[in-house]
Amino acid sequence: MNKDKSANAAYNETIALASRLKNYFLGQEGAIIAFSGGVDSSLLAYTARLSLGDRMVAVIADSPSLAEREHRLAIAFAEKHKIPLETVRTEEMNDSRYIANMGNRCYYCKESLFKELLDLQNRLAANSRVAPWPIFYGANTDDLRDFRPGMEAAKKASVKAPFIDLDMNKESIRKLCSYYNLEVAHKPAAPCLASRIPYFEEVTRKKLKQVEEAESFLIDMGFQEVRVRNHGDTARIEVLPNNFPDLTEHHEKITKKFHSLGFQFVSMDLDGFKSGSLNTALEFKKTNSAPKNSSQV
């Protein structure tokens, strides 16, 4: 009986959350959704469509940092749920600050994206002669506890974050996706390909393509939670520890493929899969660049 009560309470909470998110968009003139096909932006686009009908558009970036696989899945999601979709070409690869790949790389990526969305916002307003539709993106409260330079770019561009405004984290977002039976409910996170290149090492199209093809190869083999970190001549593979035996069992096939992509060495990270693991380099650099006491050797 207690289990039933608990399940009913959880279900009622989910219904209430779905209603709050729908009402959030009902209070808008329209919506431009920064869309990548991930769990967060997919729920935003889906709910905005429910609430606003044709007074919304999802916008996906044509960028070398978005894997082709992810691009195809995003388009398929929009088509299935009849979500109006626009594509913009971002110019982050022409920005030397982005290419330099310092700790604030994500800021310049989002700055480029939001510039295109602001341009689209102005064009839509001019064509329809209505007030500009606000721009929304999928940051959630979990992101507030992580290193997210792109959030500053969103703030400067006056981009709204409904999940933060409604105090929603990743778990609640996935619950809502399950409530709506959305195919992305259990989709693994897929951050931009540039996040696989260590900070302070230049971002290039070649490196991004190497990562994309290497990860796609592993995903096709059945590895879902996977990252391939590009350390120049070395590929460092991160999978969940329970997938270690599968990785080693197929090591010959994997190394052959990775060598064909241009990697001289192929390694497996014994720490296992960890989203954002390259952020540790920033802390390491900060710690080791601090002034040392003269008595230290």
* Model confidence pLDDT, tens digit, residues 71-108: 999 999 999 999 999 999 999 999 999 999 999 999 99
β-sheet bridge partners, residue 229: 236
Res. 279: pLDDT tops 70:
no
**Pairing between strand 56-62 and 85-89?**
parallel
pTM over 0.75: yes
Would you place residue 9 in the very low, low, confident or very high pLDDT band (cuts 50, 70, 90)?
A: confident
Retrieve residue 70's tokens. 């992810």
Question: Higher pLDDT residue, 266 or 189?
Answer: 266
Are the CB atoms for 118 and 157 separated by under 8 Å? yes
pLDDT 10s digits, 116-142: 999 999 999 998 777 899 999 999 999
Of the candidates 131, 174, 239, 133, the one whose C-alpha atom is nearest the C-alpha of residue 40 is: 174
Are the CB atoms for 180 and 46 separated by under 8 Å? yes
Res. 109: pLDDT tops 70:
yes
Domain boundaries, the chain: 2-179, 193-282
pLDDT 10s digits, 173-207: 999 999 999 999 999 988 999 999 999 999 999 99
Question: According to the model, what pLDDT value does residue 256 have?
Answer: 98
Of the CATH numbers 3.40.50.620, 3.40.50.300, 3.30.1490.100, 1.25.40.80, which one belongs to the domain with range 2-179? 3.40.50.620
Of the candidates 209, 207, 238, the one whose C-alpha atom is nearest the C-alpha of residue 224 is: 238
pLDDT 10s digits, 27-66: 999 999 999 999 999 999 999 999 999 999 999 999 999 9
Of the candidates 245, 203, 20, the one whose C-alpha atom is nearest the C-alpha of residue 96 is: 203
DSSP 201: S
Q: What are phi and psi of 169, to 5 degrees?
A: -105, -175
Q: Which residues contact 104 (CB under 8 A, 6 or more apart)?
A: 97, 149
